[in-house]
Amino acid sequence: MRQAGFQHILRLAMALSFRFIANANGGKQPWMKEDRRTLIEYISETLETGDAINVGSHERDVASSFAW
């Protein structure tokens, strides 16, 4: 059996969040798959290293296609 670590659970939670958003949007994802993967990767790696998630203007390249 696979041992689920923090990063695995975090990625799963974010993927489910994107699914909930799609379901609320009539089954359509508002973001492209590559954008979702990039954001999931950024958040999970940032938290895994203990850094803060910066949503300032200099981080806009990471989440440029997301409408916050």
- pLDDT of residue 1 exceeding 90, the answer is no
The 10 Å Cβ neighbour count of residue 44 is 18
pTM score of the predicted model:
0.67
The residue ranges of every structural domain in the chain are: 6-52
- pLDDT of residue 57 exceeding 90, the answer is no
Amino acid at 21: I
The 10 Å Cβ neighbour count of residue 36 is 20
Residue 45 · residue 35 · CB < 8 Å: no
* pLDDT, position 20: 95
C-alpha–C-alpha distance, residues 49 and 47, integer Å: 5
- 9-53 pLDDT, tens digit per residue, is 999 999 999 999 999 999 999 889 999 999 999 998 888 888 888
Greater pLDDT, 63 or 27: 27
Greater pLDDT, 54 or 43: 43
C-alpha–C-alpha distance, residues 68 and 65, integer Å: 9
